[in-house]
Amino acid sequence: MRVIAIANQKGGVAKTTTTHTLGVALARRGQRVLLVDLDPQACLSFSAGLDPDALELSVHDALVGRNKLADTIVATGELDLAPATIDLAGAEQQLLARTGRDFVLREVLADIAGDYDLALLDCPPSLGVLTVNALTAADEVIVPLQCEALSHRGVAQLLDTIAEVRRYTNPTLTVRGVIATMYDGRTRHGREVLDDVQGRFGLTVLDPPVPNSVRFAEAPSRGITVLDHAPGSAGALAYETIAAGLLT
């Protein structure tokens, strides 16, 4: 099973949208896809049509050893999801006191590795224990990047964390690339930020950029992605193209 972490400690950069939309696009290309919601805010779980407050089990139960990850997985349309609840906020503290805490997610994913072709991990907007667990379990990282000036600092911090993870827990971790999200092609600033991130950090940009659109905000309340809500939109086509590129 190939494991991809979707990470950026800066909030509001479309990590959840990217995880959900790429997951559906990859499932439609014949991949067996598992999404893992690692954010205590449970936005991915909500976006997939679940009520996090009504769930009996979540990925938290697997991380603290109460249940197998397979016990928490819910079918959501064309793919499966290991959902989150607010209980996941407590997992950070519980894992801090555990020996080998950075490897817990890798261990629980190993139990279901034969059931899926791909697992996409939606990381929380922080560089805490849950994100480090995701990076330790992952083969690759994709970084959603909002093309605005403050993004540089966030990318630098994330790359520092990735370097630490490579040094101590996952030496084979690679950065697959950056996805430009909420992109406004009418402005020069967006392209300048993207070019600077490429030049400064040597990161690959997974084209095309995903344009800013209200369609992305409308879809989660219906439990669907933009691929169904506005299938002909530029945003939907961008994610379809990126997903196809991930399989080449």
Q: What is the pLDDT of residue 207?
A: 92
Q: What is the pLDDT of residue 155?
A: 86
CA torsion sign, 126 to 73 to 27 to 45? negative
| CATH 3.40.50.1820 fits domain 2-246 | no
Q: What is the pLDDT of residue 96?
A: 79
Give the integer Cα–Cα distance in Å for 165 and 171. Answer: 7
Per-residue pLDDT of the chain (248 residues; tens, 9 = 90+): 999 999 998 888 999 999 999 999 999 999 999 999 999 999 999 999 999 999 999 999 999 999 999 999 999 989 999 999 999 988 878 887 788 999 999 999 999 999 999 999 999 998 899 999 999 999 999 999 987 766 667 788 899 999 999 999 999 999 999 999 988 877 777 788 888 888 888 999 999 999 988 888 888 888 899 999 999 999 999 999 999 999 98
SS3 labels along 30-90: CCCEEEEECCCCCHHHHHCCCCHHHCCCCHHHHHCCCCCHHHHCEEECCEEEECCCCCHHH
3-state secondary structure of 35: strand
Q: What is the pLDDT of residue 194?
A: 82
Give the integer Cα–Cα distance in Å for 237 and 78. Answer: 18
Q: What is the pLDDT of residue 150?
A: 67
Q: What is the pLDDT of residue 110?
A: 97
Q: What is the pLDDT of residue 81?
A: 98
Q: What is the pLDDT of residue 175?
A: 97
Q: What is the pLDDT of residue 190?
A: 76
Q: What is the pLDDT of residue 169?
A: 97
Q: Where are the domains of the chain?
A: 2-246
- Residue 127's nearest CA partner among 136, 119, 115 is 136
